[in-house]
């Protein structure tokens, strides 16, 4: 990844594997907006602004440059990943279309709460709910930005509050999951566990099913051998592997077996390509 950290900005010049629109629109996160030609990205209590200098260079400005260098995974060589995945011939269209996508390294708590809200939901409603929670229960930052609530702040949100945030039937799940986290469930510890063990632990949390668990493992806990299966990935599986298979657990297991440590990023390339096309 070609990038340079300067005093108050990062200049990114390797745009083949960094396309900010593709990254943000690929379903990994929900706190971002396009404002006056500039992307505003929020994570925890940190904010970055990203814009194009020209066709070959992007600039990221923030008070937390090192945080966002890790957040966007700048030190991973995605050219190597693309080369490895190109061995799967059916991946060619997805790799060409989605090569600017990167797996974000997000905060585990924010990822967990956001993806419980995401279950059987759409992007517009998810973003609205997550932003409501930040604006009403998180710390106010500069401009129009708000921090994602800490666990302590989340513990004061009632089921009624979550309903007012538009989370619907997920509201009681959110309250109960926050209670479990406050009672000693160590979310961060799951990062160091074997993937299957970590997934079993996540599935004990209210509102967390297999797809949500895989998303939290991939986007919030740095696990690579996971393949979240939603409607779009199910269509991919039926197109390229078995047109008659309907069991998503079987799809998930076969896909992880096929892609191994490249499962997470392969999923993201295929998901974004299929949904956009």
Q: What is the DSSP string of 2-22?
A: -EEE-SSEEEE--GGG--HHH
Asked whether the CA dihedral 73, 228, 251, 124 is positive or negative, the reply is negative
- Answer yes or no: are the C-beta atoms of 275 and 268 closer than 8 Å: no
Beta carbons within 8 Å of 250's beta carbon, 6+ residues apart: none
Query: Is 211 one of the annotated active-site residues of the chain?
Result: yes
C-alpha 244/C-alpha 252 separation (Å) is: 15
Strands (E) in the chain, as ranges, are 3-5, 9-12, 32-35, 38-43, 46-54, 57-62
Of 21, 211, 224, 225, the active-site residue reads 211
Smallest CA-to-CA distance from 102 within 270, 269, 273 is with 269
C-alpha 216/C-alpha 191 separation (Å) is: 10
- Answer yes or no: are the C-beta atoms of 128 and 166 closer than 8 Å: yes
- Answer yes or no: are the C-beta atoms of 133 and 144 closer than 8 Å: no
Output the CA angle 15-17-23, nearest 5 degrees: 95
Query: What tokens does 21 get?
Result: 């629109």
Catalytic center residues: 211
């Amino acid at each position: 990844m070609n990038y340079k950290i300067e005093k108050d900005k990062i200049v990114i010049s390797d745009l083949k594997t960094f396309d900010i629109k593709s990254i943000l629109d690929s379903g990994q996160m929900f706190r971002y907006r396009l404002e006056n030609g500039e992307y505003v990205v929020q994570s925890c209590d940190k904010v970055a602004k990203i814009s194009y200098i020209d066709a070959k260079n992007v600039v990221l400005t923030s008070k937390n440059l090192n945080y966002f260098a890790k957040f966007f995974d700048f030190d991973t060589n995605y050219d190597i990943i693309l080369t490895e995945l190109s061995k799967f011939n059916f991946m060619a269209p997805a790799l060409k279309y989605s090569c600017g996508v990167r797996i974000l390294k997000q905060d585990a708590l924010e990822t967990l709460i956001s993806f419980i809200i995401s279950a059987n939901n759409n992007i517009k409603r998810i973003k609205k709910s997550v932003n409501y929670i930040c604006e009403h229960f998180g710390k106010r930052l500069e401009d129009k930005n708000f921090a994602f609530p800490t666990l302590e702040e989340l513990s004061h949100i009632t089921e009624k509050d979550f309903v007012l945030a538009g989370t619907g039937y997920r509201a009681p799940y959110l309250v109960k999951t926050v209670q479990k986290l406050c009672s000693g469930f160590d979310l961060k510890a799951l990062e160091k566990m074997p993937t299957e063990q970590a997934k079993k632990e996540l599935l004990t949390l209210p509102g967390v099913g297999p797809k949500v668990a895989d998303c939290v493992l991939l986007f919030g806990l740095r696990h690579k051998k996971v393949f979240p299966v939603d409607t779009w990935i199910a269509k991919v599986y039926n197109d390229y592997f078995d047109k008659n298979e309907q069991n998503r657990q079987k799809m998930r297991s076969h896909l992880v077996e096929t892609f191994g440590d490249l499962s997470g990023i392969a999923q993201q390339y295929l998901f974004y390509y299929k949904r956009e096309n």
